[in-house]
Amino acid sequence: MFRIAFFEPRIAGNTGSAIRLAAVSGSELHLVEPLGFDLEEPKLKRAGLDYHDLAVMTVHANLEAAYDALLPARVYAFTGKGEELYTDIAYEPGDVLLFGPEPTGLPDDVLNDPRITARVRLPMLPGRRSMNLANSASIAVYEAWRQHGFAMPSSPTE
C-alpha cells in the first residue's frame, strides 16, 4: 500500500509503534541506518507488541540504498519546513512517506535532494517545535489510506 521511511530514527519506542502501524495498515516500514537503538531492544519489542511478524520491515544501510530499493516511487518528505499541507497531496499506493530522526527532523541535504517529490507539513500551533515521530507517521498513513477508501491490500505489501 504505502511505504513509511524513517531516516536514522533514534527512539526505539517510536519505531516499535511504527511497526504496529505498518502491520495494521498494510504499509511497509523502511528504516535507514544508522539507528539510534538495537533492533532487539526491549522497548522496540514492547511498543510493537506481537505485530513484528505481521509487519513488512526493511533496514537499509543508508539513504542511497533505500532509494535504490524504493524509487522510482514518489517521495514525500515530512518536515516543519514543508510547503504543502499533508491533506493537499493526492497519495498513490507505493508512495514513500519519509520522516526524519527525533528530535532534529530531516536534514537540509535530504530535504533539498531532487528525488524528493515535495516537502510536506502537518499543521501545528505556532511556537511548537515538533510532533512525535510515530504519531506523525500515523496521521500521514491514515490520510493516504483514507483517500483510497481504506482499501484492503490483498497481501501485506500491496
Enter the DSSP assignment of 33: S
First to last CA, the chain: 4
Domains and CATH numbers, the chain: 3-146 (3.40.1280.10)
- Binding site, annotated residues: 100, 122, 130
- C-alpha cell read off for 70: 524504493
Whole-model pTM above 0.75? yes
pLDDT of residue 30: 98
Picking from 113, 120, 115, 83, the residue whose alpha carbon sits closest to that of residue 99 is 120
Q: Which amino acid is at 41?
A: E
How confident is the model at residue 157, as a pLDDT? Answer: 47
Question: What confidence score (pLDDT) does residue 82 get?
Answer: 95
CA atoms within 13 A on the CB side of 117: 17
Between CA 62 and CA 66 the distance in angstroms is 6
Q: How far apart are CA 86 and CA 69, in angstroms?
A: 24
Tell me the binding residues for S-adenosyl-L-methionine. 100, 122, 130
Report the candidate in 30, 28, 17 with the shortest Cα–Cα distance to residue 94: 28
Rounded average pLDDT per 10-residue block, the chain, 158 residues: 96 92 96 92 64 88 98 97 96 98 94 98 91 96 97 65
Mapped onto helix, strand or coil, the DSSP state of residue 6 is: strand
DSSP-derived secondary structure for 39-66: TT-HHHHHHHTT-GGGSEEEEESSHHHH
